A = this chain, B = another copy of it.
Amino acid sequence: MPVVTNGRVIFNEIPEGYPEPGKTVVYDEAETLDLDSVVLNGGILVKTLVLSADPYMRGQMRDPSIETYVAAFTLGKPIYGYGIGVVLRSESTEYKTGDHVHGHFDYKHYQVIQENNLSNLRGTIKRHPKLPWTAYTGVAGGSGRTALYAWRTFAQAKPGNTVFVTTGAGPVGSMVIQIAKSEGLRVIASAGTDDKVAFVKEIGADVAFNYKTTDTATILAQEGPLDIYWDNVGGETLDLALKYAARYARFIECGMISGYNHKEGHQMKNLFEIIARRITISGFIVGDLATSDLVKEFEEVIIPRLAIGEFRFREDITEGLEHAGETLARIQRGTNVGKTSIVVGREDS
């Protein structure tokens, strides 16, 4: 194995609104690495195969003095996220060459993970032969688990209930729609392009609309009231969902992308409906929800359904780490189509 250029995506500037490629992050080729001799200190050398690009990463592109649930990226250092790679060399008893590992990955081609940082990994990962690694950054990984675990924990779903799913074409939303339909619910789903709306209909939504060209309030007034609201957007849509909620509605707060790039907040007119309609609103982080039953259901029911195509998904794959900046901007503006990931390397090259 030769000396290689270890291309990296560096956090360069805190964005004001949407992140800007080449400004917020820059692709840097200054680092080289001798794959044979780089010091591992009891750790492992990993070749990055796939990196996940996720909306929540916007929250890490901030002034580190602001505290929130995820650490801020460090200016001048590589950004990071969820990744999957293959072990090239190992000095650890936990991992051997050829193992696939996943977890916290820097946005770079090769990861040297020292012994004391091995706990940032989530361990080894196996792939269903009919699913690509990219699926494991989405529906077969965290997004699918988010959908299943939170649905089971908070939805109290009954056949015939009406659920409104926002960002219905995304990896979480599309899984929620398919789980809800498999349980006999009526699904209203929104998405941001006509193409996404078509996909949402294909996977079973009873009512699907483009929220950029159709008035959400009109749809909810006609098709509500909502027994369950799956929130990926927050802001005005959350306020409208409160207005058109059924009594005892369950609001599952998965994300609020509408607020990530707008700090001034939203003028909420319908918060009193929380009381009037006895609504329960639950925020969560998927890691808190895993139980052995849910893990088992995911592995034994959801993964096989994805593998045989009974549950469908779409992927938005970027080839090449050098395009990460555009990808990160795209997911904040919602112009991606399906779960977004970056293919960084291949096992056979």
Contact = CB atoms under 8 A, between A and B. Distances in A.
Contact of A269 (B255, B264, B276, B279): B264
Interface string A233-252: 01000110000000000000
A147 interface: no
A287 B288 CA distance: 32
A277 interface: yes
Interface in A256-292: 256, 259-260, 263-285, 288
A275 B254 contact: yes
A115 B271 CA distance: 39
Contacts of A271: 234, 238, 256, 259, 265-266, 268
B269 A265 contact: yes
A68 interface: yes
Nearest to A242: B283
Given A264-B269, A266-B271, A283 B278 contact: yes
Contacts of A322: none
A153 to B, nearest CB: 11
B283 A256 contact: no
A9 B282 CA distance: 42
Nearest to A67: B276
A235 B121 CA distance: 42
B266 A277 contact: no
Given A263-B269, A269-B265, A281 B276 contact: no
Contacts of A68: 276
A234 B280 CA distance: 15
Contact of A284 (B69, B265, B266, B275): B275
A284 to B, nearest CB: 5
Contacts of A272: 234, 256, 259-260
Given A283-B276, A284-B275, A267 B267 contact: yes
A253 interface: yes
Given A256-B271, A266-B271, A280 B279 contact: no
Contacts of A284: 275, 278
A275 B256 contact: yes
A263 B267 CA distance: 11
A154 to B, nearest CB: 9
Nearest to A273: B283
A112 B260 CA distance: 59
Nearest to A272: B256
Contact of A265 (B238, B267, B275): B267
B288 A278 contact: yes
Given A260-B272, A266-B268, A275-B285, 8 more contacts: A69-B275, A256-B271, A259-B272, A263-B269, A265-B271, A266-B271, A278-B285, A279-B283
21 contacts: A68-B276, A69-B276, A239-B265, A253-B274, A264-B269, A265-B269, A265-B271, A266-B267, A266-B268, A268-B268, A268-B271, A274-B281, A275-B283, A278-B284, A278-B285, A278-B288, A279-B281, A279-B283, A280-B280, A280-B281, A280-B282
